[in-house]
Amino acid sequence: GCMMNGKLYPLGLIERTDDCYRCSCDEAGMECCSLFHTPVAYDKKKCKVVFNKKRCDYDVVQKDDPSKMCIVYARV
């Protein structure tokens, strides 16, 4: 298996790790890519970014009312 952040994962494809990555584990090691995209273009004065671990993505919400989402113009 492969170790990542103190957890042992089995050989083969790991659809989703605890940290929201998709990985491939083999004898040579582990290769991963993120399941989330970081917001880069949004109203930074009115909004803030919060990681939603359940969805494995970032939510962009209003600073004064986090129950309201903000428009995101671009993610990377």
- Average pLDDT value for the chain: 95
Q: What is the pLDDT of residues 19-73, one digit of tens each?
A: 999 999 999 999 999 999 999 999 999 999 999 999 999 999 999 999 999 999 9
Using only C-alpha atoms, the chain has a radius of gyration, in whole angstroms, of 16
pLDDT of residue 68: 97
> Whole-angstrom Cα distance, residue 60 to residue 32?
25
> Whole-angstrom Cα distance, residue 76 to residue 73?
11
Q: What is the pLDDT of residues 5-20, one digit of tens each?
A: 999 999 999 999 999 9
pLDDT of residue 9: 94
φ/ψ of 41, rounded to 5, equals -125, 105
Going along the chain from its start, the domains and CATH numbers come out as 2-34 (no CATH), 39-75 (2.20.25.590)
> Whole-angstrom Cα distance, residue 26 to residue 70?
40
Q: What percent of the chain has pLDDT over 90?
A: 97
Could you tell me the two tokens for 56? 């494995």
